[in-house]
Structure 1
Amino acid sequence: MTTSFDINALAFLLSQAAEVEIRPRFRALADGDVRIKTSAIDLVTEADEAAERFIKAGMDAVLPGALFVGEESVAADPALLPKLAEADLAVVVDPIDGTFNFAAGVPLFGVMASVIAGGETIAGVIYDPMGDDFVLAEKGAGAWQTGGNRPAVRLKAAAPVALEDMTGMASTGFLSPEKRAGVMANLAKVAFASNYRCAAHEYRTFAAGHVHYLMYNKLMPWDHLAGTLISQEAGAFAARFDGSAYEPRHVEGGLLLAPDRESWEMMRREVFVVD
């Protein structure tokens, strides 16, 4: 299925939500403005909810008739998530990715949106509210960094390197304790592993060629659809742990990204396979 829309209009809507609802609340949250969802590290703030309402209200002008799937909308109505697999056209939104950082006053968070047509991700946008710029991609048109009154720059994933020289981010928190211990031990084989607690900035860093791998286990669509498409359009290889393609309907199976298929196979074999 093909669809026509203005990705710049989508990007602008995300930036407006940040200007109106997110930045004014940064380091200005009252005690009652931060709440626990599922655990002490899974938070929601007044800014998340207000930004999502803002984006949803403006979406009819950008993608008329599209199913709106937001992280906070799904938290309120879990029955919304399965509809994504059946929708002809949908937009998936994370109003603040990196809420833990945002609530702690750490300036490392982003606003993400992806467009799904016929079960396929066709566009992705990641906005950095503090840097006031975007990385974005439309399927088949490359990945770009733009905004901040600077010329657009085409993004290119890092070139392959030896295993011991690889740097990247690995999110191990949702692995079982046994697998987490194995993966953490195997990560000693690479140059370093980090975690920003913010997929938006991890994908930005990876797609711009500054690190060599990303690994995630929990696959909520608002966290990964935009970044995966942007990374693929920057030339990287992405697949679930079993080698199958990552699709909007997937919420499990893990996700690994690397500069190319050979590097992906090497990381999968040496680091992320734990029997």
Structure 2
Amino acid sequence: MNIDRLAAILRDAAKAEILPRFRQLEAGSVETKSHAFDLVTQADQQAEIAITKAINEASPHMVVIGEEAVAANPALLSQSLGDETVIFIDPVDGTWNFAAGLPLFAVMASVVQRGETVAGVIYDPLGDDFLMTEKGCGAWHVFADGHRVRQKFAEPAPLDAMGGVASASYLPDETRREVMGNLAKVQMFASYRCAGHEYRLGAGGNLHFMMYNKLMPWDHLAGALMMEEAGAHVARFDGSKYEPHHRDGGLLIAPDAESWQIVRREVFTV
């Protein structure tokens, strides 16, 4: 499937199923999944249905795996996909923000061929623009009028001048306390509870590091490829390559290999 066609599918679903429900969610349309900050809304469910249907109609040979489909049937993630082309979908990334009326949410899709991420799209429904990438072609900010700007990750900086994002929610308690203490060594860190917008910040050169522990494919495959295409050094905590089948092992992103090693040693001592 052409990446522009995939982007248009995400945009259409957002306009039909997500934006009309923003700050208009009815009572009973928000459910809790694993904990109080892990939510699903009718917008997530209906957008995923719409996106899956549109992809199946346009490219019936592709396998579509969405976050909400996996929540209903976890076995979808353990199936052997072989040489299939798989599109992973996050219909509303940042659902907690969305449900709270906070305008920080995105729609994301990644394309995996033969076990390798080859393309990704992150759509901001409120800004009506995209981050888009294809392997080897750079990462691009694509505006509604078609104007495109190539993205570049931040240049290296001293540790005490770095700013970044860190999601420590899924770290063991003792490790989380240590990492949170170590973050005092950098100038600024935050968590926007929306990987899609965090990857947008990274691609635009606004972050020096990004850290995630739990690796669900719809959350990170598109963004990780975008950061690589924007010039960042991307690796799991042990230094190995992040691949679509990984669910744990963490993910750390920095401007270059040297910066990555500094942040890994001084901050994320997991």
TM-score, structure 2 normalization: 0.98
Does structure 2 retain, via aligned residues, the 8 Å contact 1:84–1:90? no
Conserved? CA contact 1:84–1:248, under 8 Å: no
1:157 is matched with 153
- Mapped partners of 2:84, 2:28: distance in 1: 39
Instruction: Note the C-alpha offset of 1:85.
Output: 5.4
- Could you tell which deviates more after superposition, 59-68 or 117-126? 59-68
Whichever residue aligns with residue 156 of structure 1, its letter is: K
Q: Which runs of 4+ in 1 moved over 4 A?
A: none
Q: Which runs of 5+ in 1 are unaligned?
A: none
Offset, 1:262: 0.8
Instruction: Give the drift of 1:64.
Output: 3.0
Q: Secondary structure at the match of 1:11?
A: helix
Query: 1:106/1:266 Cα in 2 relative to 1: closer, same or farther (>3 Å)?
Result: same
Match of 1:36 among 32, 35, 43: 32
1:74 offset after TM fit, Å? 0.2
Determine whether 1:135 maps to 2:131. yes
- Counterpart Cα distance in 1 of 2:196 and 2:105: 7
Contact 1:168 1:212 (C-alpha < 8 Å) held by counterparts: yes
Task: Report deviation, 1:65.
Answer: 1.1
Task: Give the 5 Å matches for 1:207-218.
Answer: 207-218=203-214
User: Take 2:20 and 2:268, find their aligned partners in 1: how far apart are those partners?
Assistant: 40
Distance 1:84 1:93 in 2: 18
1:36-59 superposed Cα distances (whole Å, 9 cap, x missing partner): 011110000000000000000000
**Partners of 1:64 and 1:248 in 2: CA distance:** 21
Give the CA deviation at 1:82: 1.5
Partner of 1:259: 255
Structure 2 residue 109 is matched with structure 1 residue 104: no
User: Does structure 1 residue 91 correspond to structure 2 residue 68?
Assistant: no
For residue 14 of structure 1, what is the amino acid of its counterpart?
L
| Aligned sequence identity (%) | 56
Q: Take 1:74 and 1:9, find their aligned partners in 2: how far apart are those partners? A: 24
Letter in 2 for 1:72: E
Report the Cα offset of residue 62 of structure 1.
Answer: 4.1
Aligned pair 1:235/2:240, yes or no?
Answer: no
In structure 1, the residue matched to 2:13 is 17
Aligned mate of 2:46, from 31, 44, 50 = 50
* Residue 126 (1) aligns with residue 128 (2): no
The letter for the 2-side match of 1:70 is G
1:189 to 185, 189, 197: 185
* Conserved? CA contact 1:98–1:110, under 8 Å: yes
Deviations 1:123-142 (A, max 9, x none): 00000000000001000000
Distance (whole Å) between structure 2 residues aligned to residue 87 and residue 117 of structure 1: 7
Question: By how many angstroms is 1:71 displaced?
Answer: 0.1
Q: Let me know the Cα RMSD of the aligned residues.
A: 1.1
Whether the 8 Å CA contact 1:121–1:225 is kept in 2: the answer is: yes
Partner of 1:74: 70
User: How big is each residue's C-alpha offset from its partner over 1:76-98, in whole Å with a ceiling of 9 and x where there is no partner?
Assistant: 11000122653521000000000
Q: Which residue of 1 aligns with 2:55?
A: 59
Residues 1:169 and 2:165 aligned together: yes
Preserved contact between residue 258 and residue 264 of structure 1 (Cα < 8 Å)? yes
Distance in 1 between the 2:49 and 2:61 partners?
16
